[in-house]
């Protein structure tokens, strides 16, 4: 089944930046000792290694390690001089859609390993460049990016990571959704994942809620409706583009799923 959306009480929908997001390269003898002031500090190791102690608890630091530190927390940190830390830091207040400050139940976070470090770094660097531009619009965009980073960190902290097989299932599902006309063999895909077709089908249904065949057909029908409504392609051209060698079989399957033959569906929706 598809993962349930993360639901955390007193969550936030935006942030107010206290100052400019920054990326630091730590000095050779760098160490950090502080009490977090009246804001939250999103601290992310872009690369490097070391250790950090938060309220007496020691955490290792490596590339992709993230902390969202809360006001009043006691922090000490140091790094490996042979592999210095490059860290991203931004100070913010979580706020509601109306701009009211809140204390989210989901924060603070300590020692979260970000799932997609390269994407996280790219967004972090965008927040730095946008805020530095000095324009209201881009500064506001920087705050939105910081909010995305914080919410993604909360998601990563509270959602179990998919195992390797389920990750490949999700990747395959994404390929089907983006190109439903690809003539994919379920047997061949099953072999790529190292599973039998039966085991692959069972596992795919667990991840997506549908069998591979039902998933493919649903996305083909969704794409067929888009092409019927927004293109001048003939039924044969649409059928062929979606992997059907027989236009009559396509029409029967379309009617069985959608409830009308494709020609009748187009006539009813093309000017809607």
Rounded Cα gap, residues 8 and 173, in angstroms = 28
Residue 101 per-residue DSSP state: B
Reported as type and span, the H/E element at residue 219 is helix 212-230
Judge whether residue 1 has pLDDT over 60: no
Residue 209 per-residue DSSP state: S
Question: 């980073």: which residue's tokens?
Answer: 149
- Cβ contact 96:12 at 8 Å: yes
Q: What is the pLDDT of residues 76-127, one digit of tens each?
A: 999 999 999 999 999 999 998 888 999 998 899 999 999 889 899 999 999 9
Judge whether residue 233 has pLDDT over 80: yes
- Return left, alpha or beta for 209; rule: phi > 0 is left, psi -120 to 50 is alpha, else beta: left
- Neighbour tally for 28: CB within 10 Å: 7
Q: Hey, is 262 helix, strand or coil?
A: helix
Could you tell me what percent of the chain has a pLDDT over 70?
95
| Mean pLDDT of the chain, nearest integer | 89
> If you average pLDDT over residues 252-256, what whole number do you get?
96
- Return left, alpha or beta for 56; rule: phi > 0 is left, psi -120 to 50 is alpha, else beta: left
What pLDDT, on the 0 to 100 scale, is given for residue 217? 94
What pLDDT, on the 0 to 100 scale, is given for residue 272? 54
> If you average pLDDT over residues 153-181, what whole number do you get?
83
What pLDDT, on the 0 to 100 scale, is given for residue 5? 36
> If you average pLDDT over residues 21-47, what whole number do you get?
95
Q: Which domains does the chain have, with CATH numbers?
A: 14-158 (2.60.120.280), 164-269 (1.10.10.60)
More confident residue, 50 or 271: 50
- Cβ contact 114:122 at 8 Å: no
What pLDDT, on the 0 to 100 scale, is given for residue 108? 94
């Amino acid at each position: 089944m598809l993962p349930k959306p993360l639901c955390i009480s007193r969550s936030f929908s935006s942030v107010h930046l206290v100052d400019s997001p920054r990326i630091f390269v730590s000095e050779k003898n760098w160490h950090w000792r502080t009490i977090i002031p009246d804001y939250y500090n999103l601290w992310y190791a872009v690369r490097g290694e070391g250790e950090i102690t938060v309220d007496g608890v020691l955490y290792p630091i490596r590339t992709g390690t993230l902390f969202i530190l809360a006001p009043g927390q006691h922090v000490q940190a140091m790094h490996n001089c042979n592999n210095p830390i490059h860290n991203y830091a931004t100070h913010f207040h979580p706020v509601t859609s109306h701009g009211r400050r809140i204390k989210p139940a989901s924060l603070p976070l300590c020692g979260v390993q970000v799932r997609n470090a390269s994407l996280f770094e790219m967004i972090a660097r965008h927040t730095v460049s946008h805020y530095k531009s000095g324009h209201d619009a881009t500064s506001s965009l920087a705050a939105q990016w910081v909010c995305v980073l914080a919410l993604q960190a909360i998601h990563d902290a509270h959602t179990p990571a998919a195992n390797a097989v389920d990750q490949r299932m999700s990747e395959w599902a994404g390929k089907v959704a983006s190109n439903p006309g690809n003539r994919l063999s379920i047997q061949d895909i099953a072999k790529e994942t190292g599973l039998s077709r039966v085991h692959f089908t069972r596992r795919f249904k667990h991840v997506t809620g549908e069998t591979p065949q039902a998933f493919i057909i649903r996305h083909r029908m969704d794409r067929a409706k888009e092409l019927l409504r927004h293109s001048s392609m003939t039924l044969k051209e649409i059928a062929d583009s979606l992997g059907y060698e027989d236009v009559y079989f396509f029409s029967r399957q379309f009617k069985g799923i959608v409830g009308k033959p494709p020609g009748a569906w187009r006539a009813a929706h093309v000017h809607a």
